[in-house]
């Protein structure tokens, strides 16, 4: 599943390519996504201008000219593909597949502009498109989510208050979108390594300095990942067809059995399953 950095990379690409563009036509080939596409979806979007594209957590938000919104979540395997209609060979430049040719089987939605179109492809159909009629309803729709790591609300007072008396381990909380939005499994592993915190540590045992590390390092890791175009796992690419490169910076993720990269640490990276998620950590420096 794309995490905050990958969704932000897609957002930037889309914003650059389709902002202020008018939607000419919408084609829905399969309405049975995680949230069923309504029958008036095509007519609602037709002739609307995409004013800008925002993001919150792992959600893309299209601002439409009638002051409504189209909320998009990519789910586990959803990808958005930008096609230039002026080119004869309509090859996708951001493929989930090993081929630049996008198999039509899972092309569920097309949004067509004057000179380009975007295709939503999703083999598992866990993603969704949802029309939100106004700003009040958008805020209500996202109200269950915690703050993003970049927001001022994600501060020491908030974290200490949230953790007080809680029994779950810190890895689970970093993945809990009600606590903090946008962090997924890859970045939770990296954040905990750089914070020198064992992923199994119960949050009520964390000291003030530990919480400060988590807050600051979360911001740094995600900022760095965005700058490097995200992590290219399973062929993730941005809408310009470029691979992300943050995977070259992994300290623990997918490094089971390898030596710890921390200076003078003699540890070996371990792998355990915590709440059905692969968890990687150093057996020496993450105590």
Give catalytic status of residue 255 as yes or no: no
Do the strands 79-84 and 116-121 form a parallel or antiparallel pair, or are they unpaired?
antiparallel
Give catalytic status of residue 157 as yes or no: no
Q: Residue 36: what pLDDT?
A: 97
Which residue out of 3, 6, 8, 148 is catalytically annotated?
A: 3
Residue 217 in any domain: the answer is: yes
Exposure string for 220-238, b = 16+ CB within 10 A, e = fewer = ebbeebbebbbbbbeebbb
Q: pLDDT exceeding 70 applies to what percent of the chain?
A: 87
Residues 132, 169, single domain; the answer is: no
Which has more confidence, 263 or 102? Answer: 263
Residue 211 in any domain: the answer is: yes
Residues 6+ apart with CB under 8 A from 9: 226, 229, 230, 238, 244
* Per-residue pLDDT tens digits for 170-205: 999 999 999 999 999 999 999 999 999 999 999 999
Residues 203, 259, single domain; the answer is: yes
Looking at the 3D structure of the chain, how many domains does it have? 2
Q: Is the pLDDT of residue 84 over 60?
A: yes
Residues 109, 191, single domain; the answer is: no
CATH number for the domain harbouring residue 130: 3.20.190.10
Residues 126, 250, single domain; the answer is: no
Residues 130, 165, single domain; the answer is: no
CATH number for the domain harbouring residue 198: 1.10.8.50
Q: Out of 117, 141, 165, pick the residue that ends a domain.
A: 141
Q: For the residues 60-87, what does the mean pLDDT come to?
A: 91
Residues 135, 206, single domain; the answer is: no
Q: Residue 229: what pLDDT?
A: 64
Q: Out of 141, 173, 197, pick the residue that ends a domain.
A: 141
Residue 148 in any domain: the answer is: no
Give catalytic status of residue 58 as yes or no: yes
Q: Residue 10: what pLDDT?
A: 87
Give catalytic status of residue 149 as yes or no: no
Residue 109 in any domain: the answer is: yes
Domain residues for the domain of 38 are: 4-141
Q: Tell me which of 91-105, 147-161, 211-225 is least confident.
A: 91-105
Which residue out of 2, 5, 149, 199 is catalytically annotated?
A: 2
Phi (first) and psi of residue 168, to 5 degrees: -70, 160
Residues 78, 132, single domain; the answer is: yes
Q: How confident is the model at residue 230 (pLDDT cuts 50, 70, 90)?
A: low
Residues 268, 181, single domain; the answer is: yes
Which residue out of 29, 242, 271, 277 is catalytically annotated?
A: 277
Q: Out of 141, 167, 190, pick the residue that ends a domain.
A: 141
Q: Residue 81: what pLDDT?
A: 85
Residues 246, 274, single domain; the answer is: yes
Q: Are 50 and 60 in contact (CB under 8 A)?
A: no
Residues 132, 208, single domain; the answer is: no
Mean pLDDT for all residues in the chain: 89
Q: What is the pTM of this model?
A: 0.87
Q: Is the pLDDT of residue 207 over 50?
A: yes
Q: Tell me which of 27-31, 127-131, 184-188, 278-282 is least confident.
A: 184-188
Please give the angle made by the CA atoms of 65, 91 and 103, to the nearest 5 degrees.
95
Q: Residue 220: what pLDDT?
A: 94
Residues 91, 212, single domain; the answer is: no
Residue 230 in any domain: the answer is: yes
Residue 50 in any domain: the answer is: yes
Q: Is the pLDDT of residue 14 over 70?
A: yes
Residue 147 in any domain: the answer is: no
Residues 120, 196, single domain; the answer is: no
Residue 287 in any domain: the answer is: no
Query: Rounded distance, CA 237 to CA 163, Å?
Result: 36
Residues in the chain: 287
Q: How confident is the model at residue 259 (pLDDT cuts 50, 70, 90)?
A: very high
* Per-residue pLDDT tens digits for 108-135: 999 999 999 999 989 899 999 999 999 9
Which residue out of 55, 58, 117, 171 is catalytically annotated?
A: 58
Q: pLDDT exceeding 90 applies to what percent of the chain?
A: 71
Which has more confidence, 241 or 126? Answer: 126
Q: Residue 2: what pLDDT?
A: 78
């Amino acid at each position: 599943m794309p995490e905050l950095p990958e969704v932000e990379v897609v957002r930037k690409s889309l914003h650059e390519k389709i902002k202020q563009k008018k939607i000419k036509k919408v084609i829905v080939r399969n309405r049975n996504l995680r949230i069923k596409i309504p029958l008036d979806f095509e007519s609602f979007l037709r002739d609307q201008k995409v004013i800008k594209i925002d993001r919150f957590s792992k959600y893309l938000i299209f601002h439409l000219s009638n002051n409504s919104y189209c909320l998009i979540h990519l789910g586990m395997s959803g990808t958005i593909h930008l096609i230039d209609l002026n080119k004869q060979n309509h090859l996708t430049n951001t493929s989930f597949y090993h081929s630049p040719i996008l198999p039509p089987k899972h092309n569920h939605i097309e949004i067509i502009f004057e000179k380009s179109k975007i295709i939503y492809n999703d083999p598992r159909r866990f993603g969704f498109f949802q029309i939100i009629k106004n700003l009040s309803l958008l805020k209500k729709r996202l109200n269950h989510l915690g703050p993003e790591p970049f927001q001022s609300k994600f501060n020491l007072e908030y974290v200490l208050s949230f953790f007080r008396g809680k029994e779950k381990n810190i890895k689970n909380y970093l993945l809990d979108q009600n606590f903090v939005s946008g962090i997924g499994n890859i970045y939770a592993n990296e954040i905990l390594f750089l914070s020198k915190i064992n992923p199994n540590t119960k949050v009520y045992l964390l000291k003030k300095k530990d919480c400060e590390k988590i807050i600051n390092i979360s911001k740094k890791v995600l900022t760095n990942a965005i700058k490097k175009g995200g992590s290219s796992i399973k062929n993730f690419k941005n809408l310009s067809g470029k691979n992300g490169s943050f995977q070259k910076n992994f300290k623990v993720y997918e490094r089971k059995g390898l030596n710890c990269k921390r200076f003078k640490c003699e540890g070996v990276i371990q792998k355990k399953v915590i709440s059905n998620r692969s968890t990687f950590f150093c057996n020496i420096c993450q105590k």
